[in-house]
Amino acid sequence: MRHDQRPVAFFDSGVGGLPYLAAARALVPTERYVYLADRAGFPYGTKSREAVTALALASIAALVRHSRPKAIVVACNTATELAIDAIRTANPLIPVIGTVPAIKPAAALSKLRRIGVVATPGAAAAGYLTDLASEWASGCEVIKRGDGALVDFVERKFIGSSHEERLAAVQPSVRAMLDSGVDAIVLGCTHFLHLAAEFAEAAGPGVAIVDSREGIANRLRDVLGAGADDAGSGTGPRNDQMFLTGVGPFGAVYSGFASLYDLRQGGCLS
């Protein structure tokens, strides 16, 4: 049977979903991938449900028109929390996978039964995390913290930053979590995965840093089915692309992320 040549699409408010794309590419290297960052709508974590839903639907519609993906990964916790049902309703013929903060594996790792979740301000304040904690970590105390400044740091300043600057950026959230006595910190915003190493360094060896990359990559492979292994060797040059919303050139920051993740600059979608 001929392999379905359509790409797998990843979507985020900005660059946060790129580590998820990298995890999927490592697990299923034979697929072709496209990525859309909603530069024009960033940030999502400070916006209302209605605004996030409208932005996500418009962006994903543009990506679907352009790329005709075989599957869509909403690699954004806030968009998943607030808009995943609307996204699935708008795309009934395309499997849509959302990202969920890794509270369940964090609960399994925590010996002290105290888990921290660092997320966007909107996600930290919403009932969604509380519901997840009730379902998957009922025996744990879950401490939530919104860190909008850290989201902005990753989106605007990560490229070109020094190790010391990255450590300084995570320190407020790490210190708040350590002061609360947690022994596991969930990176509840996809942007924070770019700083996973700095979180681990700042928190120290006694604190687990947990994210959902592996789970989402495995879920994608399950959705793609056996055909995911039939595309070829995966050893040739990649033809994966990164797109932005809005008007104008990629600029140094987005060009830097595209280069870091071996993505061709595909231009702007509207």
Provide the annotated active-site residues: 76, 189
Q: How far apart are the C-alpha atoms of 34 and 221, rounded to whole Å?
A: 16
Answer whether 65's CB lies under 8 Å from 3's CB: no
DSSP state of 264: E
- In 3D space, the residue among 118, 60, 121, 55 whose CA is nearest the CA of residue 91 turns out to be 60
Instruction: Quickly list H helices, the chain.
Output: 18-27, 49-67, 77-90, 103-109, 121-125, 127-136, 148-157, 163-179, 196-203, 213-224, 251-260
- Coil, strand or helix: which one is 161? coil
- Look up residue 191 and give its DSSP letter: G
As a 3-state breakdown, the chain gives helix, strand, coil percent values, each rounded to 5, of 50, 15, 35
Q: Rounded to 10 degrees, what is the CA torsion of 233, 234, 239, 243? A: 140
Cα–Cα distance for residue pair 225/199, rounded to 1 Å: 34
Buried-exposed string 93-113: b where 16+ CB fall within 10 A, e elsewhere: ebbbbbbbbbbbbbbeebeee
